[in-house]
Amino acid sequence: MTVPPGQRFTKIRPCPVTAGKVVSCVDMWPVLELITAHILGSDYGRVLRKADNRELRRTAATIAEAETGLTPALLDLFGLPQLESPSYWVTEVLPAIRKELRRRTGPPKKLGPNSPIAQLKAENRVEDVAGQFTNLRRSGSHLRGKCPLHREQIGESFHVWRDSQRWWCFGRCNRGGDVVDLMQALGRMEVA
């Protein structure tokens, strides 16, 4: 049976993988996606972002259950020594799941014309902030200079557009953004 990309199994079948409990393969799908992402070395955050809240809670419970029940039982069954420290799943993935759930269920960030970010953008122009860290010179309709992020010695790969209040480094950084992104990249502020 093949499943079209972007769709999940909808037929409920018992999966005998969870310590004597019968759960559906639908419930195990996010866990299997996380395991696949881990094996392939890809970003598990993408898996977490596309899962719904119920799937995230079930995945967190499965990880906690495996760490406290299934893994020790299997190690004991085969006569292997118990783990001395928590696994990658407990130290890395479980906190990421909890953070994603807090992000989704927490109070919405204040946006709009009176938000702290909007005020920060209104009070700081990108060319003024960049000008504190590098010399900018006019080049056509924009400004350019040595990139303050990667301390370039030769060339001027850092570009600032005053009309749109945006910047971009065409050099080693290969990134850009607005004044807030620049302040974050320069380590002048942190956004929670």
**For residues 13-17, average pLDDT:** 45
Model confidence at 153, pLDDT cuts 50, 70, 90, reads confident
Range among 16-20, 71-75, 156-160 rated most confident: 156-160
What is the full DSSP assignment across 129-171?
Answer: HHHTTS--EEETTEEEE--TTTT-SSS--EEEETTTTEEEE-S
Greater pLDDT, 107 or 1 = 107
**For residues 181-191, average pLDDT:** 77
**Whole-model pTM?**
0.43
What residues does 161 pair with on adjacent strands? 166
Model confidence at 64, pLDDT cuts 50, 70, 90, reads confident
Model confidence at 88, pLDDT cuts 50, 70, 90, reads confident
**For residues 114-138, average pLDDT:** 88
Q: What is the per-residue pLDDT across 109-123, written as a single tens digit (0 to 9) for each?
A: 666 777 888 888 888
Model confidence at 145, pLDDT cuts 50, 70, 90, reads very high
**For residues 125-146, average pLDDT:** 91
Task: State residue 167's pLDDT score.
Answer: 92
Q: In the chain, list all ranges with CATH 3.90.580.10.
A: 116-185
CA distance 124 to 120: 6
CATH code for the part of the protein at 116-185: 3.90.580.10
Task: State residue 126's pLDDT score.
Answer: 92
Q: In the predicted model, what is the mean pLDDT of the chain?
A: 78
Task: State residue 159's pLDDT score.
Answer: 93
The alpha carbon torsion through 51, 57, 59, 61 (nearest 10 deg) reads: 180
